[in-house]
Amino acid sequence: MKNTGIKLLENGRRLDGRSPKDMRSIKIIPNPIKNAGGSAYMEWGKNKVVAAVYGPSEALPRHTANPDKAVIKCRYMMAPFSSEEGHGRVGMNRRAIEISKVTAEVFENVVILDQFPGTEINIYVEVLQSDGGTRAAGITCAAVAMALSGIPMKDLPYAISVGKVGEDIILDLDKIEDNYSDADMPVAILPRTDSVALLQMDGTMSKTQFDTAMQMVLDAGKIISKLQKDALMSQYTEQGKKYG
Amino acid sequence: MRTLTKEYMMERISKGIRNEKRKPMDYRNIKLEVGLIPNAEGSAQATIGNTKVLAGIKIDLSEPMTDTPEDGNLTTSAELLPMASENYDIGPPTPEGVEFARVVDRGIRHGNVLDTSKLFIEEGKVWSIFMDLYVLNYDGNIFDAGTLALMAALATSKIPKYEDGKVVRENMKRLETSNIVTSCTFAKVIDSLLVDPDGAEEELMKARLTITNGKELIYAMQKGLGGVFMQKEIDSLIDAAFDKSKELRNIVQKSTGD
């Protein structure tokens, strides 16, 4: 938003050398948290995120239970030591409450909830190190964790953010780009139908730019989806080896 | 809502019929009143159908944020008052309340309604604008009512003076605003898209999309709830938002006397 003289895009290259359409490297490790029903650890550029899924278990407190279906509860939180700046404020701030809410909503749409009436499914997303795009990383990572927990899902969602620098659309904003870009738009997609499960935007954008941005998300999604599936596959080939 | 009522309403909505003969892209009646709270620097109440949201503005002296030493601060909070609905409870802000405040905040902030650099006083001293949203009665679509109320409150707000180390609240000047933004909220009920959902329609909706825009640009978007939108649906809603916002902008301009 603020013009601080930082050139985010020069000669088609971004500060870290990426072109506008490049995303950062992604690594997903399945099931690092053994106590959880399913979990995943993800490195997305400099972001380091762990997601774990517990449940379905009895919904507590009881008034939160729904007799028709499971309820999804999510807690997204950034560790106080996660940012490049000083000690972060500990606890659930307003940003974390909102991200927790929209993350849970993504999964409400894909998890087959009516198989588990009266229960709750807990998604925990802990951001250990942050460098922009943590909610997207959290959702992408939680999707793998959810699948690994064996809870039936209609689709495997992924998320990524797009943004705008000047009049150029850029994919997968890091922290500096997030701070100084002209628009930031995290999107979550259900890839079987390419439907939009999360959409937030702030900044300035025209409709044409929105469409360009969406196309970039869908193109990148093919790569992200594959990495998610590879992570799931690797878990089962590991298990296969163990039991011969 | 009873299952029977629900099914009846869903059937009607799928045929394009809404209560009070509203068409899918019609707003309910909108009333926007400014200056209801003379003690506040700015205030406005937006009424959309039975939904009532009051916005109040207070401007205080404060320290700048460390990362923006030459800018004033904007803070938006919302209260979903227990009196406003059976479904609102006493207690700390709920995720719904936090989302509401943050979505309205983003639209105003990124819509460049206020130039925060003009809120700078001297080194270490800036104005903080506290924007509080009070939901007094809930009947759906608090987002658009909140943005309307806040926009009108800001456009008619005054700003105190800083004289000899003191905040003076007499003979205050008008607070400068440089843009008008409005938001349009759409509900998806089965496959029907409706603008300005009322309370009953919000109970039926699977997904919600709020688009905040000015004359030419979108400033904020927020999808809510567990349902999904297809890209072509979002495209059509962006067009609808630009179309509907003409009406809303007129209402803001009329209420503020511009």
Q: What pLDDT score does A91 carry?
A: 63
For the segment B112-137, the average pLDDT, to the nearest whole number, is 91
For the segment B67-89, the average pLDDT, to the nearest whole number, is 86
Mean pLDDT value across chain A: 91
Interface-testing mutation among A76, A153, A204, with chain B (most B C-beta atoms within 10 A): A204
Question: Can you give A108-122 as a three-state secondary structure string?
Answer: HCCECHHHCCCEEEE
Q: What pLDDT score does A199 carry?
A: 97
Which positions in chain B touch A98 (Cβ < 8 Å)?
A: 95, 98-99, 102
Calculate Rg over the CA atoms of chain A.
Answer: 18
Cα distance between residue B22 and residue B204, in whole Å: 17
Among partner residues B99, B110, B227, which is closest to A204 by beta-carbon distance? B110
Among partner residues B209, B219, B228, which is closest to A204 by beta-carbon distance? B219
Place of tokens 């978007």: B221
Contact A196 B223 (CB under 8 A): yes
Which positions in chain B touch A194 (Cβ < 8 Å)?
A: 230-231
- Angle in degrees, CA B26, B28, B30, rounded to 5: 120
For B33-44, how does the pLDDT look when each residue is reduced to its tens digit (9 = 90+)?
Answer: 998 888 888 999
For A129-184, how does the pLDDT look when each residue is reduced to its tens digit (9 = 90+)?
Answer: 899 999 999 999 999 999 999 999 999 999 999 999 999 999 999 999 998 999 99
Q: What pLDDT score does A84 carry?
A: 76
The second-level CATH assignment, the architecture, of B3-256 is 2-Layer Sandwich (3.30)
Contact B223 A198 (CB under 8 A): yes
Q: Does A196 contact chain B (CB < 8 Å)?
A: yes
Contact A195 B221 (CB under 8 A): no
Q: What pLDDT score does A1 carry?
A: 44
Name all domains of chain A by residue range, CATH numbers in brackets.
24-242 (3.30.230.70)
User: Would you give the DSSP letter of residue A17?
Assistant: S
Cα distance between residue A44 and residue A38, in whole Å: 19
Q: What pLDDT score does A135 carry?
A: 96
Q: What pLDDT score does B258 carry?
A: 65
Does residue B127 surpass a pLDDT of 60?
yes
CB A106 within 8 A of CB A159: yes
